[in-house]
Structure 1
Amino acid sequence: MRKIFLILTSFVLIVGLSGCIKINGGDPQNGNGTQDELTGEELTKIAKCLTEKGVKMYGAVWCSHCSNQKKAFGDAFQYINYIECDANTNLETAKICVEEGIEGVPAWDLPDGSRKAGETSPTELAELAGCL
């Protein structure tokens, strides 16, 4: 009986982990499985436009998806209006995340008042914000 339990538990874990990998599959640079092939200059232009339009990214230092999101912008990420939601890193900005009702990161506040959750390519963000 114990052997059957271990086999079933192992099977459930393997299937569950496979599902997580598949769901998050594709390129880690963005959420749609394709990598933006933008130059640094293009990324800078998009990042600056997003900030000018009032777009904000909520993230956390420990969040791997947030890290992927930052990598997608490269050096241009310095122009993104980024709000750290980890209270151990920055208590003041973490309070903003609570006030804004952030339930998961990364999250993007867009000019139309909507919120986009999850990794999102720079191109998709630019389209959503009216930067392209």
Structure 2
Amino acid sequence: MMRRRSTPWIHRNSRLLIGGIAILGALLTGYLTISKLSGGNVACPVSGCETVLSSQYATVFGQPLPLFGCLAYIAMAVFAFAPLAVAADHQKSLRRNLENNTWLLLLAGSTAMLVFSGYLMFLLAFQIKALCLYCLGSALFSASLFILTLIGRSWEDMGQIFFVTIVVGMVTLISTLGVYATANNPNPPSPSGTPITTTSSTAEIELAKYLKAKGVKMYGAFWCPHCHEQKEVFGKQAFSEINYVECADPKEPRRQLEVCQKAKIESYPTWEINGKLVEPGAKSLEELAKISGYKGSLKFQNKI
């Protein structure tokens, strides 16, 4: 009597593992997305996290990069769990078709995420030159999803795996290089920065003059989107009163000037108030008024 070969443990549980990792990835990138959209800072034991998340590479099509990562993880979770929602006893054909199709989607999705994460790791190491634990965590999740997809089932056609991974990998890499073509352009944005488009009310101007009189400084970089956001909150007239310190070298934008190195500036924008550095990030005018002890009008017209 022949014994029926049992299904390997990894094949029985691969979808649960893939779905679980995808959910963790969605939570991580969702937290980063909310933090960036709300103008807040992320909790991180190393300074590199905010440096990376405030860099010119952290925004794609005007939206924070973690948003796209969150959507990708959600899609992977859906692909992993979709067949499990169909009863195998009553809808065998539907369940089988879902399993076959979603395995191909999982393979394509995990390949794209692996290639994109690999490119981001390259940027961290050779362009931004900063350590971001969230980025490393996401890259680890992407690699785990790819490996689990490969070993999570019995692939009958190995040529199919090779074809899908090569095609998706090449398309992802070419698309990524295209998206970041502007960020990688050797001709950086103008050292004068993006022009301020907002106007200032009397309240913004009075706060700016107060901060200038108290010796308050704002450290930033001309390529930093959050620095421009901070300038927009003040408005053109008021920001002209701010004691602004440019940290980016005009010739090498990613190199920090010595004045900011001595001040121990690790990310932008950073305010120095009463001789102390405030937690980096764009601040509302109400926050700056409170921290600096400003007692004037708080009827500001510009908001973050």
Task: Please indicate, yes or no, whether the TM-score normalized by the shorter chain is above 0.5.
Answer: yes
TM-score normalised according to structure 1 size: 0.74
The aligned amino acid for 1:110 is I
Counterpart of 2:269 in structure 1 is 106
Shift of 1:14: 4.0
Shift of 1:65: 1.1
- Which segments of 5 or more consecutive residues in structure 2 lack a partner in the other structure? 1-9, 42-199, 296-304
Shift of 1:120: 1.1
Shift of 1:24: 2.6
Whose RCO is larger (CA < 8 A, sep 6+)?
A: 1
Counterpart of 1:86 in structure 2 is 248
Counterpart of 1:73 in structure 2 is 234
Shift of 1:126: 1.7
Counterpart of 2:284 in structure 1 is 121
More helix by share: 2
Confirm or deny: 8 A CA contact 1:56 1:109 kept in the other structure. Answer: yes
Q: Would you say 1:19 and 2:182 are equivalent positions?
A: no
Indicate the SS of the match to 1:79.
coil
* Closer/same/farther in 2, CA of residues 72 and 99 from structure 1, 3 Å limit: same
* Closer/same/farther in 2, CA of residues 88 and 119 from structure 1, 3 Å limit: same
The aligned amino acid for 2:287 is E
Indicate the SS of the match to 1:24.
helix
Give aligned-pair identity as a percent.
33
Counterpart of 1:51 in structure 2 is 212
The aligned amino acid for 1:42 is A
Confirm or deny: 8 A CA contact 1:59 1:84 kept in the other structure. Answer: yes
Query: How many angstroms apart in 2 are the aligned matches of 1:121 and 1:55?
Result: 15
Q: Would you say 1:60 and 2:226 are equivalent positions?
A: no
Confirm or deny: 8 A CA contact 1:56 1:108 kept in the other structure. Answer: yes
Matched residue count: 120
Query: How many angstroms apart in 1 are the aligned matches of 2:222 and 2:284?
Result: 19
- Which segments of 5 or more consecutive residues in structure 1 lack a partner in the other structure? 33-38
Query: How many angstroms apart in 1 are the aligned matches of 2:20 and 2:228?
Result: 34
Counterpart of 1:36 in structure 2 is none
* Closer/same/farther in 2, CA of residues 72 and 79 from structure 1, 3 Å limit: same
Shift of 1:86: 0.5
RMSD between superposed Cα atoms in Å: 2.7
More strand by share: 1
The aligned amino acid for 2:289 is A
